[in-house]
């Protein structure tokens, strides 16, 4: 069961299997806002892997949407302002009053007006969910530094995922080069493992992966599990392949991209 820290209380909250609305609040259009969208995307993936149906609400400015698409962030899936037994509001740290994304009320005019109920300031309604115990705030720390313009989507995605979401992420040429090298190495390895007889993901490995992302969405621990699997002498190559493909359902790094590329 996924446990996520509620920024309002500082306490972990258990996310039980039920329809959940992941609502990304991005008042800005910089890379820190992009990181909020990325965390919302990974959170939605984790919930789906746990068997929960998810609706992602994310309607950022056009340029930020383009950058999010480049990162592989799923698009806005509903204009409804209500629905879902649980609402997870993903926001930048310090945003004590997250605001509803433009057009989230279905108006489509970009004015940020309410839905005709008298609430026209764009603030989040307390009755969007069933009660305070179903409404959780997930904070994401800002991004520092300026990433290289030539960084591709998955390279930038990995560079951001390497940092715990509540820790500021520093992006520089070194971080992006390391991310690009890691992606190239893993994709080459996955393509080679794919030629070997298939083997299931070892159950201890599956449990380690799930324990990592279910513990406050600890993506960095997921990456550590993959590194361990790569070097484990007792894991067959076919099982390594299945492990990386399985973990990529959460990570979204296109780790199977090079399969068949040299055929």
Mean pLDDT of the chain: 84
The enclosing domain of 228 has a CATH number of 1.20.120
Could you tell me if 185 and 124 lie in one domain? no
Tokens of 49: 């892997």
pLDDT(115) > 90: no
**Distance (Å, whole) CA 57 – CA 196:** 40
* pLDDT score of 150: 62
pLDDT tens digits for 166-207? 999 999 889 999 999 999 999 999 999 999 999 999 999 999
Same domain for 135 and 193, yes or no, is no
- Residue spans of beta strands (DSSP E) within 25-117: 54-57, 86-92
Task: Name the domain boundary from 140, 161, 189.
Answer: 140
Pair 133, 23 in one domain: yes
Helix or strand holding residue 71 (H, E) = helix 62-71
For residue 208, the model assigns a pLDDT of 98
Provide the 3-class DSSP secondary structure of residue 12: strand
Q: How many domains does the chain have?
A: 2
Query: Is residue 160 included in any domain, yes or no?
Result: no
Task: Examine residue 165 and state whether it is found in any structural domain, yes or no.
Answer: no
pLDDT digits (tens, 9 = 90+) for 26-74: 978 899 999 999 999 999 999 999 999 999 999 899 999 999 999 999 9
Helix, strand or coil for residue 259?
A: coil
User: What pLDDT score does 134 carry?
Assistant: 81
The two tokens of residue 243 are 């492990």
**Cα torsion at 236, 237, 242, 248 (round to 10°)?**
130
Give the model's pLDDT for residue 28: 86
Residues 131, 177 within the same domain:
no
pLDDT in tens, 119-135: 333 333 333 334 445 89
Does residue 167 sit within a domain?
no
Whether residue 233 sits in one domain with residue 135: no
In this structure, is residue 210 part of a structural domain?
yes
Give the pair of three-digit tokens for residue 96. Answer: 């004590």
Q: Is residue 262 part of a domain?
A: no
The DSSP code sequence of 147-201 is --TT--HHHHHHHHHTS-TTSPEE--HHHHHHHHHHHHHHHHHHHHHTTSPP-PP
How sure is the predictor about 86, in pLDDT bands with cuts at 50, 70 and 90?
confident
The domain of 114 spans 2-140
Structural contact between residues 99 and 27, judged by C-beta atoms closer than 8 angstroms = yes
Neighbours of 59 (CB within 10 A): 19
Label the pairing between strands 54-57 and 20-24.
parallel
């Amino acid at each position: 069961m996924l446990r996520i820290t509620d920024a309002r209380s500082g306490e972990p909250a258990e996310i039980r299997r039920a329809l959940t609305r992941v609502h990304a609040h991005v008042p800005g259009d910089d890379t820190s806002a992009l990181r909020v969208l990325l965390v919302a995307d990974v959170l939605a993936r984790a919930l789906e892997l746990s068997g929960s149906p998810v609706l992602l609400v994310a309607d950022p400015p056009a340029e930020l949407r383009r950058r999010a698409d480049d990162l592989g962030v799923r698009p806005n899936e509903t204009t409804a302002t209500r629905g879902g037994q649980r609402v997870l509001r993903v926001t930048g740290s310090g945003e004590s009053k997250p605001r509803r994304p433009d057009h989230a009320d279905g108006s489509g005019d970009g004015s940020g007006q309410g839905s005709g109920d008298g609430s026209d300031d764009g603030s989040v309604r307390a009755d969007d969910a069933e009660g305070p115990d179903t409404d959780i705030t997930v904070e994401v720390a800002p991004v520092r530094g300026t990433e290289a313009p030539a960084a591709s989507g998955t390279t930038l995605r990995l560079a951001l995922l390497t940092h715990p979401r509540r820790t500021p992420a520093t992006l520089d040429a070194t971080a992006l080069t390391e991310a690009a090298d890691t992606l190239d190495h893993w994709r080459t390895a996955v393509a080679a493992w794919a030629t070997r007889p298939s083997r299931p993901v070892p159950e201890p490995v599956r449990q380690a992966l799930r324990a990592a992302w279910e513990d406050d969405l600890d993506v960095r621990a997921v990456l550590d599990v993959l590194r361990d699997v790569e070097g484990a002498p007792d894991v067959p190559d076919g099982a390594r392949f299945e492990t990386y493909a399985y973990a990529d359902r959460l990570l979204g790094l296109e780790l199977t991209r090079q399969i068949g590329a040299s055929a």
